[in-house]
Structure 1
Amino acid sequence: MTGRLLRVAVQLLDRQIVDRDDLMAGKVDDVELTVDEDGAALVAALISGPGVLAGRLGHRRYGRWRERMESTLEPPGERMTRIPMVDVRRVDSAIHLSIGRDRLASMGTEHWVRDHVICHLPAAGRKGTS
């Protein structure tokens, strides 16, 4: 992913992230930009995760509630993931990565629900049950 002109708000923000196994892995919540010596802005990384989304919601009641919920479920270092552009394989209608979704913070809440709720259900883990 070098030398391509991207419109950040249109082509990156809120786009679906797809991991190396073509599994959905969250959305792009923010971008990290750097400025080169010529003054051109370059996308250094994509930022994803529940901690970023909560911050983007502002200080309205839902934003504050979401921030409290996410901070309860996720340790601070696991609430967002910085995805360097070197890990981006392709940008089209989705953002395709060369890494697995298990490395992304966007999966943290799903893992928490699996480990603390789903695994305690009577039919959890049994094949052939709905």
Structure 2
Amino acid sequence: MTTVRMQLGQHLLDRQIVDADGLLVGKIDDIEFAVADDGTVFVDALLTGTGVLGQRIGGVVGRLLIRVADRLRDRQPSAVRIRYPLVERVDSAVRLRVRLDELPPAPLEEYLRRRLIDRIPGSDRASG
């Protein structure tokens, strides 16, 4: 495992996540840590999503974001969890080794697809 030192609040939080093709995935709303067998703490995953952002912000606005995320998720995780080994590099954005379609869909996008887009006549023939 390669060790890189960085100030997480400055170098990761709120940074844009970009896939291997340069498409925007989202912004980093939180960071998930893990502990190795030797006791070393490391970044395990980057989290993005309305519910995660709401937890980080807190207060009235944070609770509102969490309620919106809970309403939209329909038994789905309220965050997209991106394992840190999928990160190619961190510069002005966090650049991934994988394409957007290889990641789990964002809960809001899934909700809109199921509840709105799929109900539009002919949507099953739309080009992707």
Length, aligned pairs only? 125
Inter-partner Cα distance in structure 2 for 1:10 and 1:63: 21
State the SS of the aligned residue for 2:59: coil
In the alignment, is the contact (CA less than 8 A) between 2:87 and 2:94 conserved in 1? yes
Residue equivalent to 1:113: 112
State the SS of the aligned residue for 1:78: coil
Q: Deviations over 1:8-64 (max 9, x none)?
A: 01000000000122100111111123456777543222122222112122131x222
- The amino acid across from 1:22 in the alignment is G
In the alignment, is the contact (CA less than 8 A) between 1:48 and 1:104 conserved in 2? no
The equivalences for 1:35-114 within 5 A come to 35=35, 41-60=41-60, 62-102=61-101, 103-105=103-105, 107-114=106-113
Unaligned runs of 5+ in 2: none
Please identify runs of 4+ aligned residues in structure 1 that moved more than 6 A: 124-127
Inter-partner Cα distance in structure 2 for 1:35 and 1:120: 45
In the alignment, is the contact (CA less than 8 A) between 1:12 and 1:28 conserved in 2? yes
Inter-partner Cα distance in structure 2 for 1:66 and 1:93: 26
Q: Deviations over 1:84-116 (max 9, x none)?
A: 2210001001001122334245x3213433443
Unaligned runs of 5+ in 1: none
Seq. identity, %: 38
Inter-partner Cα distance in structure 2 for 1:20 and 1:76: 29
Higher relative contact order (CA 8 A, sep 6+): 1
Inter-partner Cα distance in structure 2 for 1:36 and 1:120: 47
Are 1:8 and 2:14 matched, yes or no? no
